[in-house]
Amino acid sequence: MPRPSPSTSRVIDLLNFLGEHPREFFSLSELARRLDLNKATAHGMLGALADAGYLFRHPVDKTFTLGPAVVALGQAAVAAESKVVAFAHAEMDELSRSTGAQCVASTAIGDEVVIVAVVGLAAVPTASDLGYRARIYPPHGLVFMAWGSESRVDEWLRTVSETPADRKRIQEMLDDIRQRGYSVAAHGQARSRLDRVMKEFQNEALTPDIQRTLAALGAELAREERELSKLVPDQRYQIRSISAPVFDSFGNVALVLILRGFPDLTGRQIKEHAETLVAACGRVTKLIGGAPPRAANHQRASRR
């Protein structure tokens, strides 16, 4: 792919920076310093973006934050997903109330996972702000890929899985998730490192070094989460989240509902929460006229 022009890169860097600080206002001088911009360049860029509504310029102290035009673009980008979230909200409220966890809804837009709704407060603090996004590099995006087509999964695996062993390890994780109907994420070192790496490389092209880093983290994560595939009822576990899919009418994963922010749980409690989550996702799937892949394929065949 061609590299963006320097002026385009500066605009992208600015919007990404403000997106990471959505509740803060910054002066021209501070933005120029933070983004390593010439003040004259920053002045012209900020003025043009503010005039177009992509930035809001405070009328008194002349500081800047994201503007209403960005909101409109974001709403347009997730218009279809917003309809699904509207149907899911009642279930998310009940899930958060009954489990004591925070319920998060995420969707895949292009090659990124984006958080589109957050309900409730977590017993254990989590970084799950509305609008958070991350690239779908293996092993990130497992629930979306567990029910994906063979060609889509192969393409996803090729992005970083350099060896047959890498591919086999992640494929086994996908198989486990599909068989259970949900994913349980470990709250270990590999998952924490993966989060940091994903944030660091969010806007960078995949290089061989990044591929090797992600492949190594995938191997560590597989070992951590393999222990969660066979839960011992009375053993206590520290988990990061439980996730399950909502399907559209084509059998695609339209939304993933995630319970997160738990204290330590027993294997029995994890299974109970997972079954509650899967049942809720099933009800949302029916509300939107969706069906799991096999059922959706059967419905389409019967209509022919």
Encode pLDDT of 84-136 as tens digits.
888 899 999 999 999 999 999 999 887 788 888 999 876 655 555 777 777 78
Preceding omega of 68 cis (within 30 degrees of 0): no
Query: Is the alpha carbon torsion for 127, 146, 283, 269 positive or negative?
Result: negative
CATH number of the structural domain spanning residue 13? 1.10.10.10
Structural domain harbouring 65: 6-73
Domain boundary, last residue among 46, 73, 100: 73
Domain boundary, last residue among 30, 54, 73: 73
Q: What is the pTM of this model?
A: 0.69
Same domain, 274 and 167: yes
Same domain, 154 and 277: yes
Q: Is 167 within the bounds of a domain?
A: yes
Q: For 141-179, how does the pLDDT look when each residue is reduced to its tens digit (9 = 90+)?
A: 889 999 988 888 888 887 766 677 777 878 888 999 999
Q: Is 1 within the bounds of a domain?
A: no
Rounded CA gap, 227 and 173, in Å?
11
Q: Is the pLDDT of residue 253 over 50?
A: yes
Q: Please choose, from the candidates 76, 47, 27, 84, the residue with its C-alpha nearest in 3D space to the C-alpha of residue 245.
A: 84
Share of the chain above pLDDT 70, in %: 84
Domain boundary, last residue among 24, 43, 73: 73
Residues in a beta bridge with 253: 247
Same domain, 60 and 91: no
Task: Report the domain count for the chain.
Answer: 2
Same domain, 90 and 216: yes
Lowest mean pLDDT among 54-63, 152-161, 241-250, 276-285: 152-161
* 267-273 contacts, C-beta under 8 A, 24 or more apart: 267/231, 267/232, 267/233, 267/234, 267/235, 267/237, 268/231, 268/233, 268/234, 270/184, 270/228, 270/231, 270/237, 270/239, 270/242, 271/231, 271/233, 273/99, 273/101, 273/242
